[in-house]
Structure 1
Amino acid sequence: MHISRRNFLRTGALAVAGTTLLRNELFAAARAKEILGIQLYSIRDDMKKDPSGTLKQLAGMGYKYVEHANYIDRKFYGYSATEFKKLLDGLGLLMPSGHTVMGKQHWDAAKKDFTDAWKYTVEDAATVGQRYVISPWLDEGLRKTYDDFKAYMDVFNKSGELCKKSGMKFGYHNHDFEFSTKLNGQKLFDLILQNTDPSLVAQQLDIGNMYHAGGIALDIVKQYPGRFELMHVKDEIKAAKGGEMGGAYESTVLGKGIIPVKQVIDLGKQSGGTKYFIIEQESYQDKTPLESAKLDLKQMKAWGY
């Protein structure tokens, strides 16, 4: 997913202390087995029309975990953090992670502190039961010079410190530009991993987004063992028209495309440090988004997840 297709939000304040029962369940599940969920951007139109009914359909398919892609004015899909947590609880769903872009406006360089908007983001994430607060984008203005980029990686680490106070972790999700853009002769993706503290900043590897920019997921996992706590599980095909992110490819039902998905996720589980496998499909060919979500889950189950 990319920023032009999202209206992520920017609000946040200090952290909620204490460990909830919800988070205890999440920690226990993470220790016991990998977690399989779905990024709700996969069914974005359905979530926009009927969040409650759509989540009920996902639960009926067998999904236990979801990842949000909509936090606006301190609300998740129109619900406050406490309301959305209640909705998830009532359906037997947990939300260990969510996407909210952390941008330049969230860091006050003069005060060397986060704005209230980002602090509220972290607070609400804790209230709803997240373990990871993931930013799925890096402003273009922050990746034009090496010095600006390096300085913002320090902000990434500071966001990790802020999230840690609430028992969570900050994370970053890649797209394509991290593999096509270089600063000082190095790919942005390499610079991100080299300049973030893995104890504070988790990496969510999107195994499909990188493909048209020359990124090969298997190679990346081998290059950085243990660095990918979360993965976006995605397959790709050549797009009939314009592809996603302006490239020539678009996502499809798992197992139907050109990404060796099972090899990648197996390697992630074995040596990549991956415990959270989040299905994401953004294009659907001749199927509906919910039909695709059902087929994706069926394929992951067939692969043993």
Structure 2
Amino acid sequence: MTTFETSRRTFLAGALGAGVLACSPAATTAPAAAPPYAGRLGVQLYTVRDLFEADFAGTLAALAKIGFNDCETAGFFDHDPKEVRAAMDDLGLVSRSGHIRLPQLREGFAEQLDTAGIVGQQALYLGWIPEEERSGDKYRALADLLNQRGEEAKAAGIQLGYHNHEFEFLDLGDGTKGYDILLERADPELVAMEIDFFWAAEAGVDPRDLFARAPGRFRSCHIKDRARDGSMVSVGKGTIDFAAYLAEAGQAGLETFYVEHDNPEDPLASVAMSFAHLMG
């Protein structure tokens, strides 16, 4: 398998070669393209949730110092969204999207839209559903709810979407899968997808197959790595071929890119390592 590091070295070698050719009057080789996340690499704040809860301003400052410019929220932990927005503005940070929970999708969704507007978000993603919600009928009902809320979100200038784990790709016992139901029943104009590369790998799914199946549907992604033993690791420490996946960003429709690690020993060190690997 071609790793991201191998692809990055190939990219650098090509760039050097292009520089040599440029010395010749007949050179026509164009410079290698920048990665699709260049200038907009973000971080999912779930990774630093404990730090954010204790000191959101200090945590945001640390993330800005690393080089991130986009912070996807995972709740506000009783902090005032207006104060969070002010801190982000002071640091030159933005929040293009946020995660919400199923109860918030079902009840009080208008409040979630208001909060998104305060923070300046253009998208909200349902981040997870509990086990009791994972039957065929429940997935179909969820798709219908997403369509309904997607209409409301669209009227507010916000894109609604769904973030996967591995369980959506499991057979429900009748040959169907939850992810298939969501892709087919949820309206592409109202419900986008946020692909999580770790959980896709956990389920044995190649995201490129999904991109080809539903082009333009995948507006956002979570970039987190998986070691050979299945453990979650900082980006660059695992085996996921991000370069190959992100080469299809145009077909997928990717607009936002978030580094994440669910349970790192040192959250800031982990995201700093991931940032350095992707931008190095």
Q: TM-score, normalised by structure 1?
A: 0.74
1:43 to 32, 39, 48: 48
Alpha-carbon shift at residue 143 of structure 1 (Å)? 2.4
Give distance in 1, aligned partners of 2:39 and 2:57. 26
* Structure richer in strand, relative to its length: 1
What one-letter code is carried by the residue in structure 2 that aligns with 1:62? G
Would you say the 8 A contact 1:59–1:91 is kept in 2?
Answer: yes
Q: 1:92 aligns to what?
A: 92
Alpha-carbon shift at residue 288 of structure 1 (Å)? 1.9
- SS of the aligned residue for 2:198 comes to coil
Give distance in 2, aligned partners of 1:41 and 1:147. 30
Q: 2:255 aligns to what?
A: 275
Q: 2:182 aligns to what?
A: 192
Q: Return the index of the structure with the highest Cα Rg.
A: 2
Alpha-carbon shift at residue 34 of structure 1 (Å)? 7.1
Would you say the 8 A contact 1:34–1:277 is kept in 2?
Answer: no
2:125 to 134, 139, 150: 134
Give distance in 1, aligned partners of 2:49 and 2:138. 33
Q: Deviations over 1:165-186 (max 9, x none)?
A: 2110111100010011426422
Cα distance change on mapping 1:93 and 1:118 into 2, 3 Å: same
Give distance in 2, aligned partners of 1:157 and 1:237. 36
Would you say the 8 A contact 2:40–2:68 is kept in 1?
Answer: no
Would you say the 8 A contact 2:223–2:260 is kept in 1?
Answer: yes
Would you say the 8 A contact 1:232–1:278 is kept in 2?
Answer: yes
Q: 1:56 aligns to what?
A: 61
What one-letter code is carried by the residue in structure 2 that aligns with 1:39? Q
1:65 to 54, 64, 70: 70
Give distance in 2, aligned partners of 1:45 and 1:160. 30
Counting aligned pairs with the same residue, the percent is 32
Is 1:297 paired with 2:275?
yes
Q: 1:83 aligns to what?
A: 83
What one-letter code is carried by the residue in structure 2 that aligns with 1:44? R
Q: 2:155 aligns to what?
A: 165
Alpha-carbon shift at residue 33 of structure 1 (Å)? 7.2
- SS of the aligned residue for 1:37 comes to strand
- SS of the aligned residue for 1:56 comes to helix
Q: Deviations over 1:110-129 (max 9, x none)?
A: xxxxx3x2221121111211
Give distance in 1, aligned partners of 2:252 and 2:99. 21
1:179 to 169, 176, 193: 169
Give distance in 2, aligned partners of 1:34 and 1:194. 33
Give distance in 1, aligned partners of 2:60 and 2:77. 11
- SS of the aligned residue for 1:94 comes to coil
- SS of the aligned residue for 2:231 comes to strand
Give distance in 2, aligned partners of 1:258 and 1:83. 39
What one-letter code is carried by the residue in structure 2 that aligns with 1:253? S
Is 1:123 paired with 2:128?
no
Q: TM-score, normalised by structure 2?
A: 0.81
Alpha-carbon shift at residue 238 of structure 1 (Å)? 4.2
Alpha-carbon shift at residue 204 of structure 1 (Å)? 0.2
Would you say the 8 A contact 1:176–1:213 is kept in 2?
Answer: yes
Q: Deviations over 1:209-244 (max 9, x none)?
A: 1222222223332333221110011110145xxxxx
**Structure 1 unmatched ranges of 5 or more:** 1-31, 71-75, 108-114, 240-248
Cα distance change on mapping 1:135 and 1:238 into 2, 3 Å: same
1:224 to 209, 214, 219: 214
Alpha-carbon shift at residue 48 of structure 1 (Å)? 2.4
Would you say the 8 A contact 1:228–1:272 is kept in 2?
Answer: yes
Give distance in 2, aligned partners of 1:43 and 1:169. 25
Give distance in 2, aligned partners of 1:81 and 1:46. 16
- SS of the aligned residue for 2:227 comes to strand
Would you say the 8 A contact 1:254–1:261 is kept in 2?
Answer: no
**Structure 2 unmatched ranges of 5 or more:** 1-36
2:236 to 224, 232, 255: 255
- SS of the aligned residue for 2:273 comes to helix
